[in-house]
Amino acid sequence: MGASVDVSYVFEYFVRLLPSVGITLEIVALSLLIGSAVGMLVALPRLYRIPVLQRLSQVYVSFFRGTPLLIQLFLIYYGLPELLKLVHADVSRTPVLVFVVAAYALHSGAFISEAIRAAVGAVDRGQVEAGYAIGMTGFQAFRRIVLPQAIAVAMPVFGNLVIANLKDTSLAFSLGIMELTGKAQTLPTMSQRFFESYLALALLYFILSFILQKGLYRLERRLLRHEPADGSASSPAKGRRARRREAAARLNLTEEGALR
Amino acid sequence: MIALKQIRKSFGKQEVLKGIDLAVEKGEVVAILGPSGSGKTTLLRCINYLERPGSGHIRIGDAAVDCGHPSKKDIHRLRGRSAMVFQQYHLFRHKTALQNVMEGLVVVQNVPKEEARRRSAELLEKVGLGAKLDAYPSQLSGGQQQRVGIARALALNPDVILFDEPTSALDPELVGEVLSVIRKIAREGITMIIVTHEMAFAQEVASRIVFMDDGAVIEEGEPAEFFRSPREERTKQFLKRMTPEGVYNI
Ligand SMILES: Nc1ncnc2c1ncn2[C@@H]1O[C@H](COP(=O)(O)OP(=O)(O)OP(=O)(O)O)[C@@H](O)[C@H]1O
Ligand SMILES: [Mg+2]
């Protein structure tokens, strides 16, 4: 192993890692997409207090929040085929990626359902009643009034999830997926320049998160355009996070806000 | 036009409405007065079924609900006949003033977007917000928000508009603008039921006063008469507390 860091290796590995960005982003995108659907489904029984399902969704959420992702990956990779055998489905030829995506989707689903639950709770009940009062059905009020605002409120949390998910995909190599981290481990087998490889890897993750964060922040601003960033935007002392929290809080102003 | 028969409502063990009867004719403006906790808000909320009465009958125009056996369809029809203006405005915060007013037209009444937009803009013009069509609620003062709330109610062309203390969340200097809008639409012959603590306004704008206490209608009458010579002891007590001395010694 060379004595000092050889920047040219860092550069070389960086370039050679680029093709693996695709698979990493694929895992992120698929698992968040599926995870959002799962999260929504899991949030509903708790939002509407449906007796048995409510318990089930609680258990699901606690499990996926309370156990390490790596273990979940293994459990699903080794356990799901066994479960599926019970219904005579043979998954021995199913690509590993499917299990990986399933694990990440179930994992994010737990967090997303919590985010949705909190966000729906933050949309004040009065607006729903106003919806009913103009003749909306429950479903219309949910879709047109609650959901858009809940999504806006949940965006910061969702944004954090996207970033966390991106970083977590690095565990997929343990099941042999050649995503970024897996690739970064194989590159230096000849040169033994592991440090340079991991440095390039870190750099790449950092750049990806940075771009994602920027994009997500834009989206968030757009979704919350009805809640002005006014005073807070001009005072740099107030952090972005504080502003987000305020925006979320403002959605929730009912009694206090108006009584003053 | 509107008929309430023996409306009862309890929260847990507490009976909040103890058999309310009320009939309102088309074009009437009824002001409901009464001490805090007497059940005024609950009554309004029962009329459009934001609160489920335990028993009784509600009819608005051709929509009727038997509160003992309400069907989803009947409730939906009933809600379609009324509109509500809330104490806390309850505007849709992610929609502009114009979109707030359009929402019911487009989503509930299936009016084509263009026409809904035109009608909504006219209504906002009428409540003095022609320049604020694209403002979000967070960019409007309380008085402006409440006027959007009134336009939103008007848009549906309901048989009756229910107002629950439409000015009591407002800073004093903003009360006037909202009252004058209500006054204006009252003159157009729109049927209204208004819960209010603004005695002078009630006397001026209402065609009838209904006084409630402890979940029951205690007394009703024509405004001048009601304020000059209330019949019931409880009404007298209430008026004495609510009105500065001398104001109503006409
Ligand atoms: N959701 C509820 N759950 C339990 N009790 C309630 C609920 N809403 C109202 N009440 C009770 O019902 C009674 C009547 O309340 P209501 O809000 O109708 O009175 P009000 O005449 O509108 O009073 P105010 O003038 O203060 O607005 C009160 O004792 C109140 O505590
Ligand atoms: Mg009230």
- B110 and A CB contact within 8 Å: no
Contact call for residues B104 and B152 (beta carbons, < 8 A): yes
Residue A182: its H or E element: helix A180-186
What are the pLDDT digits (tens) for B2-56? 999 999 999 999 999 999 999 999 999 999 999 999 999 999 999 999 999 999 9
Residue A84: the pLDDT is 84
Contacts of A227 in chain B (CB under 8 A): 93, 136, 138
| Bridge pairing between strands B29-33 and B208-213 | parallel
Closest ligand 1 atom to the C-alpha of B215? 14
Residue B222: predicted pLDDT: 95
Q: Which of B9, B10, B20, B38 to mutate to test the pocket of ligand 1 (most atoms within 8 A of CB)?
A: B38
Alpha carbon distance B83, A173 (integer Å)? 59
> Atom 16 of ligand 1 has which residue's CA nearest to it?
B39
| pLDDT band of B247, cuts 50, 70, 90 | low
At residue B184, the pLDDT reads: 93
Q: What residue's CA is closest to ligand 1, atom 2?
A: B11
The CA distance from A254 to the nearest CA of chain B, in Å, is: 7
Say what percent of chain B tops pLDDT 90: 93
Give A250 Cα–ligand 2 centroid separation in angstroms. 24
Mention every residue, 6+ apart, whose C-beta is less than 8 A from residue A229.
Answer: A221, A243, A247
Question: What is the Cα–Cα distance from B22 to B53, expressed in whole angstroms?
Answer: 15
State both tokens at B139: 């960019």
pLDDT at B250 over 70: no
Interface size A-B, in CB pairs within 8 Å, comes to 82
Ligand 1 contacts (CB < 6 A) are B 11, 16, 34, 36-42
Question: What is the pLDDT, as a whole number, of residue A234?
Answer: 34
Q: Which residue of B has its CA nearest to A148?
A: B94
User: What ipTM was assigned to the predicted interfaces of this complex?
Assistant: 0.92
Which amino acid residue places its CA nearest to atom 7 of ligand 1? B11
Token pair of A32 as six digits: 């968040």
Residue B131 near residue B161 (C-beta atoms within 8 A): no
Q: Is A232 on the interface with B (CB under 8 A)?
A: no
d(CA B115, CA B118): 5
- Confirm or reject contact between B195 and chain A (CB < 8 A): no
Strands (E), A48-205: none
The ligand 1 atom at the shortest distance from the C-alpha of residue B39 is 18
Q: Which of B86, B113, B95 is nearest to A152 (CA)?
A: B95
H helix and E strand count, chain B: 9, 10
**Pairwise CB contact (< 8 Å): A135 & B79:** yes
Each residue's pLDDT expressed in tens, for chain A with a length of 260 residues: 455 888 888 888 899 889 988 989 999 999 999 999 999 999 999 988 889 999 999 999 999 999 999 999 999 999 888 888 888 878 778 888 899 999 999 999 999 999 999 999 889 899 999 999 999 999 999 999 998 999 888 888 899 999 999 999 989 888 888 888 888 888 888 888 888 889 999 999 999 999 999 999 999 888 888 887 644 333 333 344 444 454 444 444 333 333 32
Query: Which of B89, B156, B169 is closest, CB to CB, to A134?
Result: B156
Tell me what pLDDT residue A92 has: 79
User: Rounded CA gap, A195 and A105, in Å?
Assistant: 31
Please report how many Cα atoms fall inside a 13 Å half-sphere around the Cα of residue A81, on the Cβ side: 14
Flag whether residue A227 sits within 8 Å of chain B, measured between CB atoms: yes
CA atoms within 13 Å, Cβ hemisphere of A156:
15
Chain A interface includes B91 (CB < 8 A) = yes
Check: pTM over 0.90? Answer yes or no: no
What's the pLDDT band for B245 if we cut at 50, 70, 90? low
One-letter amino acid at B87 equals Q
Q: What is the pLDDT of residue B139?
A: 94
**Is 80 exceeded by the pLDDT of residue B145?**
yes
